[in-house]
Amino acid sequence: MPSLNIEKNLLENVTLFYPKIKTPSLKYQSQTEREYAVTAHVDKATRNAWNKNFHKQKCKEFEYDEFVEKFGKEYAIGEEEQYLITLKKPAQYKDKTTGELKEIPDAYRPRAFLDDGNGELEDITFTKLIGNGSKGVVQF
């Protein structure tokens, strides 16, 4: 089951949808600004903990039938309301001196890692795409 670890800033054992980690997408209603994003599917207990700790960015709620139609029955958690948390990070910042949009430094861009089963993590950010329905951990 999904869980929220506030001390480590982790959403653990979540199903991922719409991951945009390798290549950022355009921000909503923008033609120039881009962002990295991922949507995490969580259970009710995780949703309650998230909403309690993050008042400004609440989970999006879906009726069961609406969720199944959009994502598929195999991803549903139970047969009640379903909950999604979308996490985003700007891919650019505005330079204070010139006012130009610049790419964020490589050290600050989101990364994707694959656990080899022995505790070693392989950076797959540029070599593999994360598919809808993948299970993972999201650090925020």
Token pair belonging to 140: 């925020």
Cross-strand bridge partners of residue 35:
25, 90
- The token pair at 64 is 């069961």
pLDDT, position 117: 85
Name the percent of the chain lying above pLDDT 70.
100
pLDDT computed for residue 116 by the predictor: 86
Q: What angle do CA 82, 87, 91 make, to 5 degrees?
A: 150
Whole-number CA gyration radius for the chain: 16
Residue matched to tokens 């070599």: 127
Q: Which residue has the tokens 């120039």?
A: 32
CB contact at 8 A, 88 and 138: no
Low-confidence spans in the chain with pLDDT less than 70:
none
Handedness of CA 56, 29, 89, 125 (dihedral sign): positive
For position 90, what pLDDT does the model report?
Answer: 97
SS3 53: helix
